[in-house]
Amino acid sequence: MSQTRLSVNINKIATLRNARGGSIPNVVEAAVNCQKFGAQGITVHPRPDERHIRYQDVRDLRPVINTEFNIEGYPSQRFIDLVLEVKPHQVTLVPDSHDVITSNQGWNVIKYDTFLKEVINELQKAGIRTSIFIETDVTQIERAAKTGTNRIELYTEPYARNYPHNPEKAIAPYIKAAKKASEVGLELNAGHDLNLTNLKYFHENIPALLEVSIGHALISDALYYGLEKTILLYLEQLK
Ligand code: PXP
């Protein structure tokens, strides 16, 4: 089983800050502390309306990230300009439309093939690893490999939704997807709705998983356990 890295998505810290204005809780401090408590990466997802992470936050975070910096988002020109300026280790491309509450689907790689190839090429030329957010359809995964992306991130919302009813059935498409990814030479990340209940089983069944990015559940758990204990609990699921 590979070492799966935990990247903490700190969007919710920014959501809380923005509810009041000012800088409490402080997003940069949160990132520093997540790393101190053992997180192996920090993820942010600046959206066009900047309702949680702002573009300026991304710039402010860059100097303090000493683990892996992963920036997710829809590749608008503004987003591409930002990531080329900030140069994170990884950019995860998501197909979000402007008004979604949270990412709610993977790319249709077949339809957006040319667009994705161009963006991926531009990011890789700047030395940035790319990942594209995708569902478990194996044809999409085959086509994802042809875009030249380094990795895919499997959209785990359906897994999380189905896990409580039937874990084996919930994981089955992800096992197939992971096999296909390995066959076509793609590295594997996963994220969305992973939590302390469903993470361990996912990790045990998807051995090649390199990274999970977790935000909503982890930051919510931190309300009860505190951030340090929460990160340790998530890391334990990935042992
Ligand atoms: N991966 C992607 C592409 C996302 O958009 C999000 C949510 O911002 C996550 C992972 C993390 O999802 P969650 O907040 O449910 O852990």
**pLDDT at residue 156 greater than cutoff 90:** yes
Q: Let me know if 211 is a catalytic residue.
A: no
Structure tokens at 131: 């990942």
Task: Summarize pLDDT for 9-66 with one digit per residue, the tens.
Answer: 999 999 999 999 899 999 999 999 999 999 999 999 999 888 899 999 999 999 999 9
Task: Give the chain's domain count.
Answer: 1
Alpha-carbon distance 224 to 230, whole Å? 9
Answer yes or no: 118 catalytic: no
Give yes or no for residue 102 CB within 6 A of ligand 1: yes
**Relative to the CA of 45, which ligand 1 atom is closest?**
8
CATH label of the domain that carries residue 202: 3.20.20.70
* Cβ–ligand 1 contact at 214 (below 6 Å): yes
User: What residues contact residue 193 under an 8 Å CB cut-off, 6+ apart?
Assistant: 156, 157, 159, 160, 161, 216, 217
- Answer left, alpha or beta for residue 87, where phi above 0 means left and psi between -120 and 50 means alpha: left
Q: Which atom of ligand 1 is nearest to the CA of 94?
A: 3
Structure confidence at residue 219 (pLDDT): 98
Across 198-215, average pLDDT: 97
Mean pLDDT of the chain: 96
The pLDDT of residue 1 is above 70: no
Q: How far apart are CA 142 and CA 175, in angstroms?
A: 15
110-133 pLDDT, tens digit each? 999 999 999 999 999 999 999 999
| CB neighbours of residue 109 within 10 Å | 25
Which tens digits make up the pLDDT trace of 217-232?
Answer: 999 999 999 999 999 9
Average pLDDT over residues 173-190: 98
Which of 52, 187, 192, 211 is catalytic? The answer is 192
Residue of 8, 34, 192 with the most ligand 1 atoms within 8 Å of its CB, for mutation: 192
User: What percent of the chain is modeled with pLDDT above 70?
Assistant: 97
For 131, the domain range is 5-237
Active site residue 192: yes
100 or 208, higher pLDDT: 208
Look at residue 2 in the predicted model and tell me its pLDDT. 58
Looking at residue 10, its pLDDT comes to 98
Catalytic residue among 72, 135, 187, 211: 72
